[in-house]
């Protein structure tokens, strides 16, 4: 990871994302190799490194019975910041996340999205240079997710290097300067979204219903330009495509050619996890 970048660490469930983060930040033993953050060896200078980094675990480490503000002060103390500096930082970070009005509310009373933002705020209260986040947007709705993306981008612009894990291709590509794809504990590929874009060019799934009957999936797959895969789903066919215009045109002319009608034709967002599992050579058994 380079200074100043947003580095996305993309992998399916169980790939080893959390384990990697824990090793990078000195919470888990490093079995081989070495981690350096800002030129400090993490396993040898744990205390020093703690002050330079903020860590947002996948499950919040905040206290449900403490208020937001108390949680921030507590977190500041854990990172070695006390007194008036801690109070000033806590106020600043609350305002950065627009959480001032929740200041005195207990953590447990917050919504999931707010809990996540406060957990991130707590990891920033000592002004770290590097922020590690483990699946920061998982379980958030699309509005909270986008808000969080914007906030992470803004933090990065202010000079914080960001490492985040995700299982969502779009998220990784959308906000990262570089992405590493991890599977089964190994990095499969690293590159900028542009570089990886060629390998990950899959964008969407179209759901199609034909009448009076659906054609043989493989025949459909062969006949549509840009179709990458096809599968049956609830009486319809799902076509995985990399270019929606080509594919939609292709489906329409295919139906005409076969004398079939189209009862349903709509674009679905691809299941990112499945798509990239496919790209890295895995299969999901249905």
What is the pairing mode between strands 178-183 and 227-233?
unpaired
Binding residue for ligand ATP, selected from 17, 145, 178, 203, defined by CB under 6 A: 17
Q: Does 20 bind Mg ion (CB under 5 A)?
A: no
Secondary structure of 156-179 as H, E, C letters: HHCCCEEEEEECCHHHHHHHCCEE
Q: Does 16 bind ligand ATP (CB under 6 A)?
A: yes
Shortest distance (Å) from residue 10 CB to ligand ATP: 10
Specify the residue, 135 or 238, whose C-beta has the smaller distance to ligand ATP: 135
Specify the residue, 134 or 238, whose C-beta has the smaller distance to Mg ion: 134
Residue 279 · residue 13 · CB < 8 Å? no
* Angstrom distance (rounded) from CA 170 to CA 167: 9
Shortest distance (Å) from residue 165 CB to ligand ATP: 7
Q: Does 32 bind ligand ATP (CB under 6 A)?
A: no
208: which strand partners? 237, 265
Strands (E) in the chain, as ranges, are 6-10, 36-37, 40-41, 53-56, 130-134, 161-166, 178-183, 186-191, 204-211, 227-233, 236-241, 261-269
115 binds, among Mg ion, ligand ATP, none (CB under 5 to 8 A by kind): none
15 binds, among ligand ATP, Mg ion, none (CB under 5 to 8 A by kind): ligand ATP
Shortest distance (Å) from residue 11 CB to ligand ATP: 5
Half-sphere exposure of 190 (CA within 13 A, CB side): 9
Q: Does 19 bind ligand ATP (CB under 6 A)?
A: yes
SS3 label, residue 13? coil
Shortest distance (Å) from residue 15 CB to ligand ATP: 4
- Single out the residue of 1, 11, 42 nearest to residue 166, CA to CA: 11
67 binds, among Mg ion, ligand ATP, none (CB under 5 to 8 A by kind): none
16 binds, among Mg ion, ligand ATP, none (CB under 5 to 8 A by kind): ligand ATP
Specify the residue, 18 or 183, whose C-beta has the smaller distance to Mg ion: 18
Residue 228 · residue 202 · CB < 8 Å? yes
* Angstrom distance (rounded) from CA 242 to CA 91: 46
Shortest distance (Å) from residue 167 CB to Mg ion: 9
Half-sphere exposure of 10 (CA within 13 A, CB side): 33
DSSP secondary structure code for residue 215 in this structure: P
Q: Does 185 bind ligand ATP (CB under 6 A)?
A: yes
Point out which span in 16-24, 201-209, 244-252, 274-282 binds ligand ATP (CB under 6 A). Answer: 16-24
125 binds, among Mg ion, ligand ATP, none (CB under 5 to 8 A by kind): none
Q: Does 18 bind Mg ion (CB under 5 A)?
A: yes
């Amino acid at each position: 990871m380079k200074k100043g970048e947003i580095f996305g660490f993309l992998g399916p469930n169980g790939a080893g994302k959390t384990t990697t983060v824990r090793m990078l930040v000195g919470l888990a033993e490093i079995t081989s190799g070495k981690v350096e953050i800002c030129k400090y060896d993490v396993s040898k200078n744990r205390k020093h490194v703690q002050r330079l980094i903020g860590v947002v675990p996948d499950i919040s480490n905040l206290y449900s019975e403490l208020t937001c503000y108390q949680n921030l002060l507590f977190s500041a103390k854990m990172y070695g910041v006390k007194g008036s500096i801690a109070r000033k930082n806590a106020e600043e970070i609350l305002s950065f996340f627009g959480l001032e009005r929740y200041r005195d509310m207990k953590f447990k009373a917050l919504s999931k999205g707010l809990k996540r933002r406060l957990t991130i705020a707590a990891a920033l209260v000592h002004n770290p240079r590097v922020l590690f986040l483990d699946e920061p947007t998982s379980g958030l709705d699309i509005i909270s997710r986008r808000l969080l993306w914007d906030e992470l981008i803004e933090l990065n612009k202010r000079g914080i290097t960001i490492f985040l894990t995700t299982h969502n291709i779009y998220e990784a590509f959308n906000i990262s300067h570089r992405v590493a794809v991890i599977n089964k504990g190994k990095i499969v590929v690293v590159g900028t979204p542009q570089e990886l874009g060629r390998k990950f060019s899959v964008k969407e799934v179209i759901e199609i219903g034909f009448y009076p009957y659906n054609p043989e999936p493989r025949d459909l797959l062969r006949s549509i330009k840009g179709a990458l895969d096809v599968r049956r789903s609830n009486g319809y066919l799902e076509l995985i495509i990399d270019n929606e215009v080509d594919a939609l045109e292709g489906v329409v002319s295919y139906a005409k050619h076969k004398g079939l009608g189209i009862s349903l034709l709509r674009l679905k967002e691809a299941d990112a996890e499945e798509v990239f599992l496919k790209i890295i050579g895995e299969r999901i058994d249905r």
